[in-house]
A = this chain, B = another copy of it.
Amino acid sequence: MKHSANPEPHGIIAVDNYYMREALVEAAKAGRIGEVPIGAIFVWDNQIIVRAYNLKESTGDPTGHAEILALREASKLKKHWRLSGGILYTTLEPCPMCSGAMVQARIDRLVFGAYDPKGGAAGSLMNLLQDERLNHRVEITAGILETECGQILKDFFRERR
């Protein structure tokens, strides 16, 4: 009864966990075709409108990260580059390119799983999503299903060694 007085935070975490599980499903698809297992989900009005996973090696596209693919697909569906109102879920903290793309697309919020201490631009090396000098700021929720999101990467690289 103590917790029911303020159920909202638990509700939000449950929702974030739910979408992050879906992002993990995408990450696993990447891993099965030899891509670094990173997945992303784009949510609009409480609905998943895009699912994407890393395709950098398969496509030979240096911008083929899950997050970029998700943003590009979402903008196709919305018929506009401005994706205000959208939330991006990604299993790994985004790199500078992807973080910059989120600012360009004006998304509302980023939710990520594992931190990337070597290349993360949403708090680890830098925070491009909340740089007061840029023309847009993105809310960040970090560490959702952090262990699972990190484990799928560890397993992938261990198997390849």
Chain A residues near B (Cβ < 8 Å): 56-57, 59-65, 68, 71-72, 75-76, 78-83, 95-101, 103-106, 118-119, 121, 125-126, 128, 131, 133-135
Query: Is the CB–CB distance between A82 and B62 below 8 Å?
Result: yes
Query: In the complex, what's the smallest C-beta–C-beta distance from A61 to chain B, in angstroms?
Result: 6
Cα distance A82–B56 when bound, in Å?
Answer: 10
Query: Is the CB–CB distance between B57 and A63 below 8 Å?
Result: no
Cα distance A76–B60 when bound, in Å?
Answer: 7
Which of B60, B131, B134 lies in contact with A79, CB distance below 8 A? B60
Given A96-B128, A133-B125, A134-B96, decide whether A101 and B60 contact each other with a Cβ distance below 8 A. Answer: no
Residues of B within 8 A of A68 (CB): 63
Query: Is the CB–CB distance between A104 and B62 below 8 Å?
Result: yes
Closest Cβ neighbor of A107 among chain B residues: B62
Which of B61, B118, B131, B134 lies in contact with A75, CB distance below 8 A? B61
Which of B95, B104, B125 lies in contact with A63, CB distance below 8 A? B104
Query: In the complex, what's the smallest C-beta–C-beta distance from A122 to chain B, in angstroms?
Result: 12
Query: Is the CB–CB distance between B72 and A61 below 8 Å?
Result: yes
Given A96-B134, A133-B125, decide whether A71 and B80 contact each other with a Cβ distance below 8 A. Answer: no
Residue among A57, A98, A106 with the highest chain B CB neighbour number at 10 A: A98
